[in-house]
Structure 1
């Protein structure tokens, strides 16, 4: 499988001719033509309705299905599916808490071929996953949360995502801390930049 980082939480996973793009949001997205689109939740940084066109194959939780202008397959925890050679396990149901005054939103994660985890906006409690895409910045997450996740559920390898609100100085700080946390808790940190890929 080839994993390509795009912008913020948008990640592309491909194997042969099969392509999945997760969370093409308003911060930007690659060309979606020919890809199957997976959406974790209905926040704008994870889904841009203007990018979604009739005829696209889209999987999303119910709250997203009611807010986008095209048909999609509704997913929920345990409702799994395949995209060609790629199997997709749907995990979880809730977004991480933003504030006590804002209701908790619906959120699902996706585990691809049992190897690559995109959690959306939460930390999915899966230990020893081969590659985890780990949210590292946002109103709901701080570096202590990342550390707690890596300590309790260390993946073999991880990529930091959800950092589109951070400037270049903040990204450099992220890289320093994520490298340290990976070394401390036995997870290999892969600092992919926008447009960069790795294969597993």
Structure 2
């Protein structure tokens, strides 16, 4: 499988000509033509209705399905489906807590071929994942949360995502801390920039 990191939380996974793009949001999206689109939740940085067109193959939780202008397959925790050679398991149901003053949004994660985890905006409690796409910045996450997750559920390798609101100085600080945390908890941090890929 080839994993390409796009902006913020948008990630592309390709295997034997099958393409999945997860969370093409309003921060920017790659070419979606011919891809199956997976959406974790209905926040704008994860879904941009303007780029979703009739005829696209889209999978999303119910709250997203009611908010976008095109038809999609509704998913929920425990549902599995396939995209060609890619098996997709749906995990979780709630967004991480942002504020006690705000309602908790619906959120699902996706485990691809049992190997690659995109959790959306949550820390999915899944052990021994080969490659985790790990949220590392945002109004609901701090570095202590990342450390706690790596301590309890260290993946073999991880790519930091959900950092689209950071400037270059913040990204450099993140890279330093994430590299140290990976070493401390027996994982490997892959510092992919926008448009960069890794094959597993």
Normalised by the length of structure 2, the TM-score is 1.00
Task: Give the match for residue 57 of structure 2.
Answer: 57
Q: Secondary structure at the match of 1:3?
A: strand
Task: Give the match for residue 76 of structure 1.
Answer: 76
Q: Secondary structure at the match of 1:158?
A: strand
What do the CA deviations read for 1:46-92 (whole angstroms, capped 9, x no partner)?
00000000000000000000000000000000011000000000000
What do the CA deviations read for 1:105-159 (whole angstroms, capped 9, x no partner)?
0000000000000000000000110000000000000000000000000000000
Report the Cα distance in structure 1 between the residues aligned to 2:57 and 2:103, rounded to whole angstroms: 29
Task: Give the match for residue 164 of structure 1.
Answer: 164
Report the Cα distance in structure 2 between the residues aligned to 1:45 and 1:60, rounded to whole angstroms: 15
Q: Secondary structure at the match of 2:42?
A: coil
**Within 5 Å, which residues of 2 pair with 1:175-194?**
175-194=175-194
Shift of 1:20: 0.0
Give the number of equivalent residue pairs.
200
- Any gaps of 5 or more consecutive residues in structure 1? none
- Any gaps of 5 or more consecutive residues in structure 2? none
1:97 lines up with 2:97 in the alignment? yes
Q: Secondary structure at the match of 1:19?
A: strand
Report the Cα distance in structure 2 between the residues aligned to 1:57 and 1:18, rounded to whole angstroms: 12
Report the Cα distance in structure 2 between the residues aligned to 1:17 and 1:177, rounded to whole angstroms: 36
Report the Cα distance in structure 2 between the residues aligned to 1:186 and 1:113, rounded to whole angstroms: 23
Report the Cα distance in structure 2 between the residues aligned to 1:16 and 1:81, rounded to whole angstroms: 17
Q: Secondary structure at the match of 2:37?
A: strand
Task: Give the match for residue 137 of structure 2.
Answer: 137
Normalised by the length of structure 1, the TM-score is 1.00
Report the Cα distance in structure 2 between the residues aligned to 1:121 and 1:169, rounded to whole angstroms: 23
Task: Give the match for residue 48 of structure 2.
Answer: 48
Shift of 1:16: 1.3
After the TM superposition, list the runs of 4 or more consecutive aligned residues in structure 1 that deviate by more than 3 angstroms: none
Shift of 1:165: 0.4
Report the Cα distance in structure 1 between the residues aligned to 2:169 and 2:149, rounded to whole angstroms: 24
RMSD: 0.3
Report the Cα distance in structure 2 between the residues aligned to 1:183 and 1:56, rounded to whole angstroms: 41
Report the Cα distance in structure 1 between the residues aligned to 2:158 and 2:169, rounded to whole angstroms: 21
Report the Cα distance in structure 2 between the residues aligned to 1:134 and 1:85, rounded to whole angstroms: 24
Task: Give the match for residue 128 of structure 1.
Answer: 128
Task: Give the match for residue 17 of structure 1.
Answer: 17
Task: Give the match for residue 153 of structure 2.
Answer: 153
